[in-house]
Structure 1
Amino acid sequence: MTQGKDMTPGSIVTRGDARDKWGVSIQGGILRSLDSKVVLAFSDPSRGEQLGYYDGWVMDEDGKWVFEYTGAGPTGHQVMLRGNKQIRDHAINGDALHVFKAVDQFQGGAQCYRYLGEFELDPVDPHIQKEEHDAVGNTRIVIIFRMRPLAAPVIDESAKLPLAEQTTVSKWAPADGLTSEKPGHAGPTTSRRIKVERNTRLRSTRKASSQVEVKRLEAELCKRFEDFLQAQGHDICRYEIRVEGEFGIMRTDTCDETDLILYEAKGVTSRSSVREATAQLADYKRSITPSRRRCAVLLPEKPNDDLIDLIKSQDLALVYEENGEFIGWPVP
């Protein structure tokens, strides 16, 4: 057994090792030490999945691995308090964030964990909220933290999010609460309505890459457009799609549920971005029910004539921002 003082990513440790190294308690899923300036997140699928906690590595859109970790709160809607708040604010509080996932080993009766290393929250989407079940099957909202490793990740198959095995559809509603509609079923995929919630206090420990800055621009564009749609009295959401037999998760941009329009936003108006948006819309719309009346590309400014022609040739609408207005909306 590797002792706490010698922990390296991939090490098999116990909670006692973590206590010896950082002075934390051995009880609880999220632990913080003010003296050691750390927050420790422990994941145990054998217990957590009964409560709708589905933790593990997933391949993100940028081709890099992200560890998705479900927040604390076994019953009812999870809230951003206590341990959840400690994870959210770890960077602003100067705390290092370390993650552990249970393995099928015990030492002296103590559960063993694989130490996955030090992490930081994703700089664009640090956490989302989505609909999950609790221990007795009731629907509730959980917080999913999206964690990126600070060093090369140590990934084994047991630590990946499990393959989608069953087709389910569940719904996330905006801030005015969940509706009474029941989940349905939709072919060989899993779709969930979700809402993205960003932490404006987030402070990354690394300099943002150009790719991250583009994602920030995209997120800000989506937020402005969603605020605009809600001001028009429209119901909005986003969908999470897990394709049967795949590890990855696809997450759409804005869905206008009032007009049944699916939007794919891009932070820059370039040919590669427009081509990517058209392909993503073609992929997403196959899985979402009810079917979309139309799909649209959302851009921060008017593209050139050839890109406009490309979008139209794919039977897609175009909406772009100009002087604080969204040109092309409402989509015909």
Structure 2
Amino acid sequence: MTKSLDTITPGDVHTRTEIRAVFGGGPQGGICPTKGIGGNVSLYSDPSVGEKVGYYDGWLAEEDEVGPIFEYTGAGKVGNQSFEGNGGAVGNRAILSHAELGRTLRVFTQVGRVPGTDTRTHRYLGAFTLDALQPYVWRRVHGEDGKIRDVIVFRLRPDGEFQRTERDAIPPAEKTGSELVSFEEVTTAMLHSDPATSGTLGNPGKKSPSKTNRRPRKVPNKETSGLFVVPEVPSIRMSLRAATAATVAVRHGVSLTHAYKNYLESVGHETGVFQIKVEGLTSTLRSGLYDATDHVLYEARGSSSREDVRMAFSKVLDYNRYIEVEGRKAEPRPVVLLPAAPDPDMRSLLGRYGVGLVYRAENGLFVGDTVPPLS
């Protein structure tokens, strides 16, 4: 076991006392921030505990264009996790605001005990930051007591040297399946601008009081407490220009989805999204907006360009094939949701493969053959 108290490098194994001597943090708990501004937030993962309460921490086998992702589940072993209040919510807020407070996320996983004692040992995986575009997702899991609950899964990106081994990987899904859950979309763009409130999943069956198909009012963000700040010099392999462009595109797509969701609920429709596990994959997919009343699956994009239409077209068909709904014999109708009418050529593409189209007209109304009429 490494004994140096001057530094700890990825792969080193230490007791919590030794870790605290270098990085600070509390003597117990899974999320341990240092006090004040700056310093670290030490994240301790114990696979044997996580599996009992319905989740796994670890590396996703599938990388995206930016690089590897480590998923870390927030604090709170019983009931829905949150960003509000005390208890586990304090730690969840510490992760969310780490960059704002100048702190580094440092991840450790339990590997054993000091021989002849009950003192636990932890292996250091490295320094991390929250993903620049999607810092966390909501996920529905089955807890130790068998009850379904909603947890916060943080998406962490390595920030410098790190250790990645198969023993720290999330196990692949044993079978393919989908589950309808509440719609919550979280992006960096939303965390920069929207007010913070609850942090718990909303009720997809709750009806909006609005009864007009005008531009829906802006709904306060219900996902977070605290401000998420992307470091000025990202260590991930994405240029500032690319990150800014991507953030703007995501913001537009999320805004459009929320607006259409509000309209659907204003006319009495129930909405949600599907949480999809694919056999052999470690990542959990989330579909676009689902209209449970009319059995329609939407995929929104932030622009109506050829590239975005093609992306929405491919994604909605990809997700659609995994969805099975009790009482429905057929798959949902796949529909692309856009902020404006696309080119005729793209309309032809969608029609050729049976993919519907809904877009927002210049007057703010939603247009398309799956748009439910005002009651």
Q: TM-score range by the shorter chain?
A: 0.7 to 0.9
- Partner residue, 2:228: 202
User: 2:73 aligned with 1:66, yes or no?
Assistant: no
Q: 1:107 aligns with which of 109, 114, 136?
A: 114
Q: Matched residues, percent identical? A: 36
Quote the Cα distance in structure 2 between the aligned partners of 1:320 and 1:295. Answer: 14
Q: Distance in 1 between matches of 2:204 and 2:289?
A: 18
Cα distance, 1:306 vs. partner? 0.7
CA distance in 2, matches of 1:286, 1:224: 26
Superposed CA RMSD in Å reads 2.8
- Tell me if the contact between 1:9 and 1:116 (Cα under 8 Å) persists in the aligned partners: yes
Mapped partners of 2:262, 2:132: distance in 1: 21
Structure 2 counterparts to residues 2-81 of structure 1, below 5 A: 2=2, 3=4, 5-35=6-36, 37-58=39-60, 59=62, 61-62=64-65, 64-80=67-83, 81=89
Q: For residues 154 and 331 of structure 2, what CA distance do their matches in structure 1 show?
A: 29
Q: Distance in 2 between matches of 1:29 and 1:283?
A: 36
The one of 346, 361, 373 equivalent to 1:307 is: 346
Q: Is the 8 A contact 1:127 1:198 kept in 2?
A: no
Shift of 1:63: 5.9
Bigger proportion of residues as strand: 1
Corresponding residue for residue 186 of structure 1: none
Q: Does the CA-based 8 Å contact 1:269-1:302 persist in structure 2?
A: yes
> What TM-score results when the alignment is normalised by the length of structure 1?
0.84
What's 1:189 paired with? none
Specify every segment of 5 or more residues in structure 2 that has no aligned partner in the other structure, as ranges.
Answer: 84-88, 184-200, 206-221, 235-239
* 1:278 has 2:313 as partner: yes
Q: Secondary structure of the residue that 2:181 maps to in structure 1?
A: coil
TM-score for the superposition, normalised by structure 2: 0.75
2:134 paired with 1:125: yes
Q: Residue 166 of structure 1: CA displacement? A: 4.4
In our comparison, the structure showing a higher alpha carbon Rg is 2
- Which aligned pairs between 1:52-201 and structure 2 lie closer than 5 A? 52-58=54-60, 59=62, 61-62=64-65, 64-80=67-83, 81-103=89-111, 105-108=112-115, 109=117, 110-151=119-160, 153-166=162-175, 169-173=178-182, 177=203, 197=223, 201=227
Deviation of 1:131 (Å): 1.7
- Shift in alpha-carbon separation, 1:215–1:231, aligned structure 2, 3 A: same
How far apart in 1 are the matches of 2:348 and 2:126? 48
- Name the counterpart of 2:253: 218
8 Å CA contact retained: 1:320, 1:327:
yes
